[in-house]
Amino acid sequence: MHTQGQSKRISSRRTGAHGAAAVGVLCLVWLAPPVAAQTTTPTTDPAAQTTTTTMPDPTTTTAVLPDPLHGYCATGCFDNGINSPSTSNPPVDFGFTVNPGPQTGDFVIDVLVPNDENTPAAGPFTINGTSSGAATQVSTTAFASDAFGLGNNPTLSQYLNAVNAVTPLPDTAGSPPFPSQPDTNLMNYLQATQGVDPTATGFFVYQADLGSTMLQDPSTPNVSPLLTISPGLPLGSFITAFLNEGTAGSPSWVSTSNSGAIFLPTPRIVEPSALILLGTALAALGGFGWYRRKSVVRPRPRMRG
């Protein structure tokens, strides 16, 4: 189990020549992302006075994810242990921290829109502020159960890897472009969304690559980046992020834990500009109707002889 970029490893010392019991030494180490959590198994042969260390099968190890990202915004976005709900939609001056920070890398924003709210398409979304970009839909196949044959509860990382959402992507076995993290799986997002949108069964994902960006330490949130997004997001949407702490050729991606993902449990607010356009359109339609009524030619009365 790892917490905030740290992980505990158990290392064992070899037994002495006289068969003394092995002594476990507990040490705390920083992990370089991404690494695999491994536990050695020592076996002692009393006759030969030797100790053999067996490594676990690499196909059964779990990737350890250090340096989780965490969302913040000007109002709300408080971590409730499940996600970080925003009290405004769209969120204002939002961003993400990295632990430890500050750290600079390729910064990617992912917007998860409930798949029953995407007709007509909800995006693309425009991101502005200290960084800017357009979040476009990564695939017409939703992040949902059995998407791309990933099983009934895939992680967001697996889904993004399947659609090659960020380029260039490494194709080296055991080095995915996005580390998988247990709490970024589909159901952890979907359970929260179905609480406000019961008919949702997955998400359409919109992604914006904001380029090289410095993220701050969790002790100094709401400093930078400070971002806005428009239009407002459909009810039950999420905003999450990834940061590449490596390079394009040798990437080292870290992700946002589900509790740090920004959740939108309130309906979006229609922007004033949209209201003005709507009002103008309605006024034009009303004027056209009035003009048509005035333009109707009435029959002239007959003259009596």
pLDDT in tens, 159-193: 888 887 654 443 333 444 444 455 688 999 999 99
Question: How far apart, in whole angstroms, are the C-alpha atoms of residue 69 and residue 33?
Answer: 13
pTM beyond cutoff 0.85: no
Question: How far apart, in whole angstroms, are the C-alpha atoms of residue 193 and residue 185?
Answer: 13
Phi, psi (deg, nearest 5) at residue 284: -65, -40
pLDDT in tens, 63-81: 334 458 999 998 888 899 8
pLDDT in tens, 118-153: 665 678 999 999 999 999 999 999 999 999 998 999
Question: Which two three-digit tokens encode residue 267?
Answer: 């309906």
pLDDT over threshold 90, residue 206: yes
3-state secondary structure of 260: helix
- For residue 112, give the nearest of 102, 122, 126, 127 by alpha carbon: 122
Report residue 114's pLDDT band, with 50, 70 and 90 as the boundaries: very high
- Cβ(205)–Cβ(237) under 8 Å? no
Domain coordinates of the chain in residue numbers?
A: 2-63, 68-264
- Cβ(68)–Cβ(101) under 8 Å? no
pLDDT in tens, 46-65: 454 544 444 434 333 333 34
Phi, psi (deg, nearest 5) at residue 283: -65, -40
State the amino acid at position 136 in one-letter form.
T
Question: How far apart, in whole angstroms, are the C-alpha atoms of residue 112 and residue 167?
Answer: 20
Nearest 10 degrees: Cα torsion 173, 239, 189, 198: -140
pLDDT in tens, 18-56: 444 443 433 333 333 444 444 444 545 545 454 444 443
Mean pLDDT, rounded, of the chain: 73
pLDDT in tens, 210-236: 999 999 999 999 999 999 999 999 999
